[in-house]
């Protein structure tokens, strides 16, 4: 397909929301309109293609300059998103009442062709970009944009949304120092991070926290308690513990809230468990705080706004250059293109020998190991 073959493109935002989604949409829409293309937003991930009858506009909204005016600073996404009903493993109930999973990606490709969509810009994390890769293999022209506050996607230095989440988490922990010190308490702060501990690690260091528990290191509660008691012996009456939602103890498992067919397990509750164990082992008054979805909401930082706008414009540029089945990726000072399969082949976990980890250990931060 040449540039002249592109007349209409669609944008999809899938998975959990992240600050900067609307900025990506604006960057892509304005860039595409300036090339003479029509741009549409697919409602709620790919639900607009799979369930058009649910939407007054048939699941596809025309995105004009007016529609994207003044949205760069807004959180969320104007076209909606979903983390339920993965079309690769879509849950359905058979005639006997049993649940099973089916692949509905052929329906998405057929819907795109029926609606005369020439290409799709898929904005999402590992799950959404895995879907995008399958759609590309089936002949749909797709360019991916990396989105996750967890910063766990390979082949890009950073994903948009991470900087905003990190900054907000750091500010929250800064505030907790004063109240923890006033009451001589331990504060446990649970942050997002299912399988990668980048948020916990970087906000923990930036906020002068004393213990950081991440998914990459199984922790020993005895070691955590030892650090807190050591601080008290040295005259420090409060401690801050940051824990990623996917952290787990040695010979233990992650804390799961719920598990449903067709979606990822919902993690949570590890902060409360850690706080309970700290009280039991140290006899220190301990409180737990869950930042959770507060990290996803709100206005994106200036860094995330600029990165998102760059990614949106780069996605359109990639289509102009004949790219297909790729993800735009930040490789400072440039935005490059990498195959979707490479970007989703493995998760970018914290390298335990990276400079950030070495810095944390040299500062005396405990990882419970």
52: left (phi over 0), alpha (psi -120 to 50) or beta: alpha
Annotated binding residue at 125? yes
User: Residue 50's closest CA among 19, 84, 74?
Assistant: 84
Cβ(307)–Cβ(151) under 8 Å? no
Cβ neighbors of 208 (< 8 A, separation 6 or more) are: 177, 240
Annotated binding residue at 294? yes
Cβ(350)–Cβ(162) under 8 Å? no
Annotated binding residue at 84? yes
Annotated binding residue at 58? no
The rounded distance, in Å, linking the Cα atoms of 270 and 100 is: 30
Q: Where are the domains of the chain?
A: 3-160+300-344, 165-296
The rounded distance, in Å, linking the Cα atoms of 24 and 16 is: 15
Task: Say if domain 165-296 classifies as CATH 1.10.3720.10.
Answer: no
How many CB atoms are located within 10 Å of the residue 314 CB? 24
Query: In CATH, which of 1.10.510.10, 3.30.360.10, 3.40.50.450, 3.10.450.50 is domain 3-160+300-344?
Result: 3.40.50.450
Q: Which one of 17, 150, 163, 304 is the catalytic residue?
A: 150
Annotated binding residue at 50? no
Q: What is the pLDDT along the chain (369 residues), one digit of tens a residue?
A: 455 689 999 999 998 899 999 999 999 999 999 999 999 999 999 999 999 999 999 999 999 999 999 999 999 999 999 888 889 988 888 888 888 889 999 999 999 999 999 999 999 998 999 999 999 999 999 999 999 999 999 999 999 999 999 999 999 999 999 999 999 999 999 999 988 999 999 999 999 999 999 999 999 999 999 999 999 999 999 999 999 999 999 987 777 766 555 556 777 789 999 999 999 999 999 999 999 889 998 999 999 999 999 999 999 999 999 999 999 999 999 999 999 999 988 889 999 999 999 999 999 999 999
| Domains 3-160+300-344 and 165-296 in one fold | yes
The rounded distance, in Å, linking the Cα atoms of 53 and 71 is: 27
Could you tell me the sign of the dihedral formed by the alpha carbons of 100, 47, 152, 177, in that order?
negative
Q: Is 150 part of the annotated catalytic residue set?
A: yes
- pTM for the full predicted model: 0.91
């Amino acid at each position: 397909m040449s540039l002249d073959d592109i007349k209409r493109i669609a944008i999809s935002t899938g998975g959990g929301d992240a600050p900067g989604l609307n900025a990506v949409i604006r960057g892509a829409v304005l860039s595409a309109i300036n090339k003479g293309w029509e741009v549409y937003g697919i409602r709620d991930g790919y639900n607009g293609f799979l369930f058009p009858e649910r939407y007054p506009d048939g699941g596809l909204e025309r995105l004009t300059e007016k529609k994207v005016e003044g949205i760069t600073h807004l959180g969320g996404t104007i076209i909606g998103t979903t983390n339920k009903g993965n079309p690769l493993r879509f849950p359905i109930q058979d005639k006997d009442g049993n649940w099973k999973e089916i692949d509905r990606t052929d329906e998405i490709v057929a819907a795109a062709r029926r609606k005369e969509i020439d290409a799709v810009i898929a904005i999402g994390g590992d799950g959404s970009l895995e879907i995008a890769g399958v759609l590309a293999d089936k002949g749909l022209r797709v360019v991916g944009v990396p989105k996750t506050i967890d910063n766990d996607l390979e082949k890009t230095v950073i994903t948009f949304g991470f900087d905003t989440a990190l900054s907000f988490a750091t500010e929250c922990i800064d505030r907790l120092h004063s109240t923890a010190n006033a009451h001589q308490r331990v504060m446990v702060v649970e942050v997002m991070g299912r399988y990668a501990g980048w948020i916990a690690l970087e906000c923990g260091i930036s906020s002068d926290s004393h213990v950081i528990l991440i998914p990459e290191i199984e922790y020993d509660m005895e070691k955590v308690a030892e650090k807190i008691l050591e601080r008290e012996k040295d005259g420090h009456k409060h401690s801050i513990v940051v824990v990623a939602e996917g952290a787990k103890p040695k010979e233990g498992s992650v804390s799961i809230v719920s598990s449903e067919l067709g979606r990822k397990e919902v993690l949570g509750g590890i902060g409360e468990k850690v706080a309970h164990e700290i009280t039991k082992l140290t006899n220190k008054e301990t409180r737990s705080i869950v930042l959770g979805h507060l990290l996803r909401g709100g206005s994106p930082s200036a860094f995330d706004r600029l990165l998102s706008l760059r990614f949106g414009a780069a996605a359109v540029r990639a289509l102009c250059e004949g790219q297909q089945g790729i993800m735009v990726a930040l490789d400072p000072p440039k935005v490059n293109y990498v195959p979707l399969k490479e970007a989703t082949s493995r998760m970018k976990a914290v390298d335990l020998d990276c400079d950030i980890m070495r810095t944390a250990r040299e500062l005396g931060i405990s990882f419970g190991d």
